[in-house]
A = this chain, B = another copy of it.
Amino acid sequence: MNLKELAQHLNLSQTTVSRALNGYPEVRDATRKRVQEAAIAFNYTPNTRAKALATGRSMSIGTVIPTSNKHEMVNPIFGDFVTGASEAYVKAGYDMVLTLIEDGEEERLYRAIRAKGNVDGIMLHSPTMDDPRVGLLKELGLPFVVHGRASHLPPDYSWLDMNNKRAFQRATAFLLELGHRRIALINGLEQQDFAFRRRSGYVEALAQHGLTEDPALMTSSEMTELEGYRAAHRMLALPDPPTAFLCSSMLMAIGTRRAVADARLDLGRDVSVITHDDDLSYLKNGQDVPIFTATRSSMRDAGRRAATMLLQQIAEPGGQPMQYMMEAELIVGQSTGPAPRR
Using CB atoms and an 8 Å cutoff, list the residues of chain A in contact with chain B: 1, 43-50, 52-53, 58, 60, 63, 67, 73-76, 78-80, 82-83, 86-87, 90, 95-101, 111-112, 115-118, 224-226, 229-230, 250-251, 254-255, 257-258, 278-283, 296, 334
- In the complex, are the beta carbons of B86 and A79 less than 8 A apart? no
The residue of chain B having its C-beta at the shortest distance from the C-beta of A43 within the complex is B111
For A43, the chain B residues whose CB sits under 8 A away are 111, 115
For A44, the chain B residues whose CB sits under 8 A away are 115
- In the complex, are the beta carbons of A98 and B86 less than 8 A apart? yes
CB distance from A102 to the nearest CB of B (A): 8
Apart from A95-B118, A96-B97, what are 11 other A-B pairs with CB-CB below 8 Å? Answer: A45-B111, A48-B58, A49-B58, A49-B118, A52-B52, A76-B79, A83-B100, A224-B279, A224-B296, A225-B278, A225-B280
- In the complex, are the beta carbons of B74 and A282 less than 8 A apart? no
For A278, the chain B residues whose CB sits under 8 A away are 225
Complex alpha-carbon distance, A255 and B280, angstroms: 9
- In the complex, are the beta carbons of B226 and A281 less than 8 A apart? yes
Complex alpha-carbon distance, A226 and B95, angstroms: 31
- In the complex, are the beta carbons of B74 and A74 less than 8 A apart? no
For A48, the chain B residues whose CB sits under 8 A away are 58, 116-118
For A79, the chain B residues whose CB sits under 8 A away are 73-76, 78-79
Complex alpha-carbon distance, A49 and B288, angstroms: 57
